[in-house]
Amino acid sequence: MVKIAPSVLSADFGALAEEVAKVEAEADLFHVDVMDGHFVPNITIGPLVVQAIHRRTRVPLDVHLMIQNPERYISAFAQAGARYLTVHAEVCPHLHRTIQQVRETGAKPGVALNPSTSLHTVEHVLDQVDLILLMSVNPGFGGQSFIPFVLKKIEELARRLQRMDPRPELEVDGGIKIENCRAVAQAGATILVAGSAIFGAPDPRAAVVKMREQVA
C-alpha cells in the first residue's frame, strides 16, 4: 500500500497543532521540511518545532533536511522525534559516514536527490538507507509544479530497488496532486509527500482520503 505523508510546510503555522489534528487519522507520516536559507533559498523549521509537532501526534515524523552541513544537526533532529531523517546527497561529501551517523541515533536514514542529481550518486549506499527521496520540484517552496522527467527517474530507481530485500522506501516530494498521484504511484513511489494539495484544500482530511482512493 502506498503511504501518504502530508507536508506541514503548507499548513497554517499559527495553528500547527490544529492543522496536524485535521489529517492525523489519515496520515501515514508527517513530512517536515527543514530549510536553512543556504542549500535552498527559504528558511523554515528547526528542532524545537519538530519536537512540538512530535508532542502533538503519534504519527511518525519524516524529517527532510534541506540544509548544508546536516551532520551538525542530526542528533538534535533525532532527539526532537524524527522517525525518518533524510539528508541531501548534494551536501554530503561523506555520504556513507553521514548515513551511519543517522543510523546511530536510532532514526531511519534517508537520502534525497534533487531532480537533476543522478541516481548514480546513491548507487553504493542503497543498502544502507531506509528511504530514498526523489525531489520532483527544485526544493525550497511548496506549491510548485511536478517536473515530468522525474517520472522516468522514479521508474528506474523502482526497478533497481525491486531486487532488494529489505527494500528501502521510494518517496517522491513536490507537485503531487490528486490529479497526478496515481501516475507517481504507478511509476513505483511507495511514499507520496503532498503539501499544498492537502493543506491548501478546503477539507485537508478529505484530500488525503481522495488521494488514497486514487492510489489504491
Closer Cβ to ligand DX5, 124 or 196, answer by number: 196
SS3 100: helix
The HSE-up count of residue 71 (CA atoms within 13 Å, CB side) is 13
Active site residue 165: no
28 phi, psi to nearest 5 deg:
-85, -35
Residue given cell 482512493 in the structure block: 213
Size of the site for ligand DX5 (CB under 6 A): 22
Q: How far is CA 215 from the centre of its chain?
A: 18
For the bound state, the minimum distance from the C-beta of residue 98 to Zn ion, rounded and expressed in Å, comes to: 18
Q: Check residue 195 for interaction with ligand DX5 (CB under 6 A).
A: yes
The b-or-e profile of 20-51 (16+ CB within 10 A means b, else e) is: bebbbebbbbbbbbbbbeebbeeebbebebbb
For the bound state, the minimum distance from the C-beta of residue 38 to ligand DX5, rounded and expressed in Å, comes to: 14
For the bound state, the minimum distance from the C-beta of residue 56 to ligand DX5, rounded and expressed in Å, comes to: 19
Active site residue 173: yes
Residue-wise DSSP of 118-176: -GGGGGGGGGG-SEEEEESS-TT-SSPPP-TTHHHHHHHHHHHHHT-SS--EEEEESS-
Q: Provide the mask over 109-148, with x wherever binding to ligand DX5 is found by CB under 6 A and - wherever it is not.
A: ----------------------------x-xxxxxx----
> How far apart (Å, rounded) are the C-alpha atoms in residues 203 and 52?
23
Options 19, 26, 33, 36; binder of Zn ion; rule CB under 5 A = 33
Point out the catalytic residue in the list 12, 28, 33, 36.
33
Options 101, 141, 173, 188; binder of Zn ion; rule CB under 5 A = 173
Of residues 48-87, those binding Zn ion (CB under 5 A): 64
Residues that bind Zn ion (CB under 5 A): 33, 64, 173
Give me the residues that bind ligand DX5 (CB under 6 A), please.
7, 9-10, 31, 33, 64, 137, 139-144, 173-176, 193-197
- Catalytic center residues: 33, 173
